[in-house]
Amino acid sequence: MSVDVFTPAHQLASQVSSGEVTAETVVNAFLQRISHVNPLVNAFTDVLKERAIAQACAIDVARARGEALGPLSGVPIAAKNLFDITGIPTRAGSKINRERASAARDAVLIERLTAAGAILLGGLNMGEYAYDFTGENVHDGACRNPHDLGRMTGGSSSGSGAATAAGCAPISLGSDTNGSIRVPSSLCGVFGLKPTYGRLPRTRSFPFCDSLDHLGPLARTTTDLALAYDVMQGPDTEDPVCAQRPIEPTLSALMKGASGLRIAIADGYFASDGMSEAKAAVDVVSTALGVTKKLVLEGAAVARAAAFIITNVESSAFHLQRLREQADDFDPDTRDRFLAGAMLPASWYVDAQRARRWFHDEMMELFADVDVIIAPATPTIAPELGQRTLDIRGETVLLRPNLGLFTQPISCIGLPVATVPVFAGPLPMGVQLIAPPWREDLCLRVAYALERDGVAVAKPPSLRAP
Amino acid sequence: MKSDFNAASHLDVMSAALNLPIPAERRAGVEQFLAVAFAMSEVVKTAPVDPDHHELAAVFRPGSIAVKP
């Protein structure tokens, strides 16, 4: 039986569990897809052929013995290369880290997916040390958008967006500090979930900014997103930030859809006037949901600025010794920001943390009257590779810091967000569905409703050359 | 009161204090990001935070004694 690489993960798992197809056949189909597509999109930095086939064979043997299989049995996955993967150095998009010892054990989220039957195919390209919104990486080369190979994937989980969009892995893992799951989800046209800060443990992943680092999945359907998220939940004492909450499953509630939920459109800072693609995507989503109510999120600009300062200070302090000793080995597009961040006054950082708490409290009051907030994920569709500036509301601004304009204020206070892909034109644009803390179920329910109604869809890409 | 920030002089002082030399060819780039960070810090200052509240959202939980192998 041939395998359609765009089959949703949960259906692949059903086919493997029922014996309709073997896990080995599935894995070989995806390895073949990677060998065909990766030279075009540059999503994978490491392909783990032997490991993947061995895992697949083990699943097939377990099935033949009549053993119970996990909910992701035979599903290929891939992980941004800041997740520890046994046997290879955790490069985190850098040149410097390649000299590190190989990881002795997988990241805890990879272990949990593997325990559910998923099969890791490899490590994925990313922006250096996750300080990136573009998907361009001087060491590994730019990751290319599967919908138009001349355009950016977004970052820093560039390979995650590209691999899942291109049919190389139905589920991938990314990290999101300021938007690094949501930006590539938007530009590559896939679903992404940034859970609540502290929900998923970050154990054995390479840090960027401790106060803001989140991990989460990207997928081609909401069901796959929820399935992967559910099996990754649960306490882990090795990550001090992990909230140690019990598992709160979301999959079983998806079919409730948007029914009964109070939904509003983010206005003010998030207004998409003058951004035609963002406005079109938000309009499509809000019309489908019958939403007209608008809310101004007071303080979003402050939150964005606070996230910028917190990220700049924490990440630069973390890399200070590397900056002293190996500055020439950094990507020039991240190096100068790190160098500047190492020099910021402590009071700027403390002020930013205090402002973060203030914005959080403002938003908690707002959530008394609304369950889910709609906002654009990015101000634009995928920019062209090499593009340095962006026109936003009639003003030309630097592209790198501004691709995360709409994502930064939300991750600043750790709210859960599902990003859904909308094709209002030939290229995708993501829309954020923002929920209160610990209510991933709500944003996933709305994402499911939009997908069920054909509004949000991860279309197979053209792999079109520029 | 608006702050007076000079990225070049700030860079000189801090690079010496941190033992973080910045070669001449990188000064412009670093100064540009110092200026961006300053602008962001000015936005942050507009938040009407409670002057008597100082929670920094830090997470530190003392743990248990490690068991030696």
Secondary structure of A96-133 in HEC code, one letter for each residue = HHHHCCCECCCCHHHHHHHHCCCEEEEEECCCHHHCCC
pTM above threshold 0.80: yes
User: Minimal CA–CA distance to A13: which of A333, A22, A96?
Assistant: A22
Size of interface A-B (CB pairs under 8 A): 110
A353 CB neighbours in chain B (<8 A) are 56-58
Name the burial class of residue A39, with classes exposed (0-12), middle (13-18) and buried (19+) by CB atoms within 10 angstroms of its CB: exposed
CB–CB of B57 and A357 under 8 A? yes
Tell me which residues of A are annotated as active site: 80, 156, 180
Question: What phi, psi does A108 have (nearest 5°)?
Answer: -60, -35
Closest-CA residue of A relative to B61 is A240
User: For residue B7, is pLDDT > 80?
Assistant: yes
**The two three-digit tokens of residue A29, written as one number:** 């189909």
For the record, the structure tokens of A4 come out as: 């359609």
A179 contacts A375 by C-beta, under 8 angstroms: no
Q: How many CB atoms lie within 10 A of CB A395?
A: 10
HSE-up of A73 (CA within 13 Å, CB side)? 22
Give me the pLDDT at residue B65, please: 62
| Helical packing angle, A108-115 and A222-232, nearest 10° | 110
Residue type for position A350: V
Sign of torsion over alpha carbons A38, A42, A44, A47: positive
- Cβ neighbors of B69 (< 8 A, separation 6 or more) are none
CA atoms within 13 A on the CB side of A454: 0
Q: Which residue has the tokens 């573009």?
A: A134
pLDDT of residue A130: 98
What is residue B52's predicted lDDT score, i.e. its pLDDT? Answer: 86
Q: What is the pLDDT of residue A321?
A: 97
Alpha carbon of B8: minimum distance to chain A alpha carbons (Å):
11
Give me the pLDDT at residue B1, please.
Answer: 52
The answer to whether the CB atoms of A302 and B34 lie below 8 A apart is no
Work out the angle at residue A48's Cα, subtended by the Cα atoms of residues A44 and A54, and round it to the nearest 5 degrees: 150
- Predicted confidence at residue A428, as pLDDT, reads 98
Amino acid symbol at A92: A
Cα–chain center distance at A307: 18
- Residue to mutate among B5, B13, B33, with most A CBs inside 10 A, is B33
| ipTM higher than the 0.85 cut | yes
Can you tell me the distance from the alpha carbon of A393 to that of A391, in angstroms, rounded to the nearest whole number? 7
CB A305 within 8 A of CB B40: yes
Min distance A317 CA to chain B CA atoms (Å): 11
CB neighbour list of residue A212: distance below 8 Å, 6 or more residues apart? A177, A178, A197, A307, A310, A311, A314, A411, A412, A414
Nearest residue in A to B58, CA atom: A211
| pLDDT-flagged residues of chain A (< 50) | none
Give the tens place of pLDDT for each residue, A253-296.
Answer: 999 999 999 999 999 999 998 899 999 999 999 999 999 999 99
Contacts of B56 in chain A (CB under 8 A): 350, 353-354, 357
* Alpha carbon distances (Å) from A372 to A266, A294, A458: 10, 12, 22
Phi, psi of A176 (to 5 degrees): -145, 110
Which of B44, B52, B59 to mutate: most A Cβ within 10 Å? B44
Residue A156: asked if its preceding bond is cis (omega within 30°), the reply is yes
A269 neighbourhood in chain B, CB within 8 Å: none
Question: What does the pLDDT read at residue A394?
Answer: 87
Candidates A309, A351, A356; nearest CB to B57: A356
Token couple for A165: 């969009």
pLDDT for the residue numbered A142? 98
CA-based nearest distance B1→chain A, Å? 15
Please report, for residues A150, A192, A379, B24, B57, the alpha-carbon distance to residue A281 in angstroms, rounded to integers and kept in the order given: 22, 16, 11, 45, 34
Give the C-alpha separation, B47 to B55, whole Å.
14
Residue B62 predicted with pLDDT over 60: no
- Token duo for residue A447: 């994402």
How far apart are alpha carbons A430 and A283 in whole angstroms?
12
